[in-house]
Amino acid sequence: MKPIRKAVFPVAGLGTRFLPATKAIPKEMLPIVDRPLIQYAVDEAREAGIEQMIFVTGRGKGAIEDHFDIAFELEKTMSERGKDLSVLEPTRLGPGNCAYVRQQEPMGLGHAIWCARDIVGDEPFAIFLPDEFMHGSPGCMKQMVDAYDRVGGGNLLSVLEVPREQVSSYGVIAPGRRDGALTEVTGLVEKPRVDEAPSNLIISGRYILQPEVMQVLAAQEKGAGGEIQLTDAMAAMIGSQPFNAVTFDGARYDCGSKAGYIQANLAIALERDDMADDVRAFALDLLK
Binding region for ligand UTP (CB under 6 A) = 10-17, 27-28, 56, 103, 106-109, 111-112, 129-131, 256
**Residues paired with residue 8 on neighbouring β-strands, in sequence order:** 54, 127
Would you call the peptide bond into 20 cis, given omega within 30 degrees of 0 as the criterion? yes
47 sits in which H/E element: helix 37-47
Smallest separation (angstroms) from ligand UTP to the CB of 91:
19
Would you call the peptide bond into 138 cis, given omega within 30 degrees of 0 as the criterion? yes
Smallest separation (angstroms) from ligand UTP to the CB of 286:
27
Alpha carbon distance 25, 29 (integer Å): 7
Question: Considering beta carbons, is residue 12 or 202 the nearer one to ligand UTP?
Answer: 12
Q: How many CA atoms lie within 13 A of 162 on its CB side?
A: 21
Question: Considering beta carbons, is residue 197 or 203 the nearer one to ligand UTP?
Answer: 203
- 98-102 and 171-179 as β-strands: parallel, antiparallel, unpaired? unpaired
Smallest separation (angstroms) from ligand UTP to the CB of 176:
27
Cβ contact 39:28 at 8 Å: no
Question: Considering beta carbons, is residue 33 or 107 the nearer one to ligand UTP?
Answer: 107
Q: What angle do CA 242, 246, 251 make, to 5 degrees?
A: 155
Q: What angle do CA 23, 267, 208 make, to 5 degrees?
A: 70
Question: Considering beta carbons, is residue 4 or 64 the nearer one to ligand UTP?
Answer: 64
DSSP per-residue letters across 96-152: TSEEEEE-SS---HHHHHHTTHHHH-SS-EEEE-TTEEEE-SS-HHHHHHHHHHHHT
Q: Which residue is nearest to ligand UTP (CB)?
A: 13
Question: Considering beta carbons, is residue 124 or 171 the nearer one to ligand UTP?
Answer: 171
Cβ contact 167:200 at 8 Å: yes
Question: Considering beta carbons, is residue 168 or 186 the nearer one to ligand UTP?
Answer: 168
Question: Considering beta carbons, is residue 59 or 150 the nearer one to ligand UTP?
Answer: 59
Smallest separation (angstroms) from ligand UTP to the CB of 112:
4
Smallest separation (angstroms) from ligand UTP to the CB of 225:
9
Smallest separation (angstroms) from ligand UTP to the CB of 111:
6
Smallest separation (angstroms) from ligand UTP to the CB of 230:
9
* Amino acid in position 279: V
Local structure of residue 181 (DSSP, 8 states): T
Question: Considering beta carbons, is residue 87 or 218 the nearer one to ligand UTP?
Answer: 218
Smallest separation (angstroms) from ligand UTP to the CB of 142:
21
